[in-house]
Amino acid sequence: MKQSDHKTNETYLAKWLAGEITDKEIQTYISEKDFLAYTKIKEGLEYFVAPEFDVNKTKKNITSKIQQKPKKVFQLNWYAAAAAVILLLTSAYFFNASLPTHIQTNFGEQKTFVLNDGSEAVLNAKSYIQYPKKWNDKRELDLHGEAFFKVKKGKSFTVNTNNGAVTVLGTQFDVNSQPDFFLVKCYEGKVRVIQNRDTIYLSKGKAYQNYNLNIDLWDFTSDQPNWVKGESDFKSVPLEVVLNELENQYEIKIKSDKIDTSQLFTGSFGHKNLNIALKSVFYPMGINFKIENKKVFLSKK
């Protein structure tokens, strides 16, 4: 009987230590002599201690080292943006002026709306736009994320982003401003892009893209951005930007630490079916993906 028990429960000592097997039960597995020895070992072990550890001192070291390293630009921008919004809101409150209008989209959401001068704007997923109730001499608004504008002819119209400003008189254009990534496409008329003191003019059918200071200019033919029609397309953009857009459209989290997110991607994905979208991006890139409840894990093939 003892023998069979040994086989079915090979970790009886571990279970006894954890209190899952009583002193009485354990003696069906081992001799009394062994039982006494194990009991003494168990008791003796109670007197051992780990060396002292000054948790606070180590924490201080960590804190001082962390502070030497600047946080990612991405976060700084966010804080700066948040601070700017708060500042704007509070100053508006104090001067008793009307609060600015802000419009925000969630994951996978798009909003089309008319600005107070009659211009039209389409806001892509996970984006944010803010403009005053009333424009006086200049038309100006703030944008985070991506939007497509059809601007009524009139005074200068400026879109301010963390990456730079886009100014037009009357035209149709798309602006996509992400951390370290800036894209402007002109669909009609003429657009002026100001970024880091450089000024670029785009005429109809011209696109401008800046990723980490790598500038790209090209021609295109469509009359409105594909994302308005339910498809996001990219031309030589770092995979990072594509992943961000996937996350925004499908409300997922993508774990990309196992792959190189700076490699460039040209292609598109639709906004209807996550699985197909993931396939259309990752198959050509030679990347495997696995979906586990709203999280996508990426790995090399």
Binding site for other proteins (CB under 8 A): 10-15, 17-18, 34, 36-38, 40-41, 44-51, 53, 55, 58-59, 61-62, 65-66, 69, 71-72, 74-75, 240, 243-244, 247, 253-257, 261, 295
What is the enclosing helix (H) or strand (E) of 287? strand 287-292
274, two tokens: 């996550």
**Strand, helix or coil for residue 288:** strand
- The CB-of-207 to other proteins minimum distance in angstroms stands at 25
- The CB-of-58 to other proteins minimum distance in angstroms stands at 6
272-281 long-range CB contacts below 8 Å, 24 or more apart? 272/230, 274/250, 277/246, 277/249, 277/250, 278/246, 281/242, 281/246
Q: In this complex, which beta carbon is closest to other proteins, that of residue 137 or of residue 292?
A: 292
Q: In this complex, which beta carbon is closest to other proteins, that of residue 71 or of residue 272?
A: 71
Q: In this complex, which beta carbon is closest to other proteins, that of residue 186 or of residue 259?
A: 259
* CA dist list (Å): 190 to 109, 184, 193, 196: 29, 12, 10, 20
**If phi over 0 gives left and psi between -120 and 50 gives alpha, with beta otherwise, what is residue 236?**
left
Q: In this complex, which beta carbon is closest to other proteins, that of residue 51 or of residue 196?
A: 51
- The CB-of-211 to other proteins minimum distance in angstroms stands at 16
Q: In this complex, which beta carbon is closest to other proteins, that of residue 219 or of residue 257?
A: 257
- The CB-of-12 to other proteins minimum distance in angstroms stands at 7
Q: In this complex, which beta carbon is closest to other proteins, that of residue 61 or of residue 203?
A: 61
- The CB-of-66 to other proteins minimum distance in angstroms stands at 5
Which stretches within 137-273 are classed as H helix? 239-250
- The CB-of-275 to other proteins minimum distance in angstroms stands at 19
Residues 6+ apart with CB under 8 A from 176: 124, 145, 146, 182, 183, 184
